[in-house]
Amino acid sequence: MNRQSQIKMTPEERHKFLTDKARTMMLCTIDKDGFPHAVAMAYMVKDGCVYMTSFRKAQKVVNARRNPKVAVMVETGTAYNELKGVMIRGRCEVIDDADEVWKIMREIRAFQEGGTPAPASAIVQERAKKRAVLKITPEKITSWDHSKLPPDTY
């Protein structure tokens, strides 16, 4: 068995990692010159997709509109045998509808805080008018959990 097969997470382990362990993931888009643009983002996972919100004029949103191919990554651990992570490559849909943005903003906040969506707030609803949702649909998922390796191999 090769090392990649040894450390790969099951779909259930990936889901648990993304929903229980991490709250920030790195979003990588491609800028107009073809360079990666990487930023840390709050997120939520729902129905197999990753959701984030940002200002509509933010560089990451501009990049995703131009080129919907993106990657996101979460990793935890400090020592080699503690490293766990998930990288998702997929297509990013930019959603501008203010009502949908407001709804998802509330859901992301609830996910981040580990609870149910906050009550409707006029302030948050007003902010939603300037924001967009980034909905990432996975096309390829890679994962690693180095704690699965035998201690004498690292």
Bridge partner residues of 41 (DSSP)? 25
Structure confidence at residue 30 (pLDDT): 98
CATH class in words for 3-149? mainly beta
pLDDT digits over 78-129, tens only? 999 999 999 999 999 999 999 899 989 888 888 888 777 666 677 777 888 8
pTM, two decimal places: 0.90
Domain positions in the chain are 3-149
**CA neighbor of 100 nearest in space, from 133, 135, 55:** 133
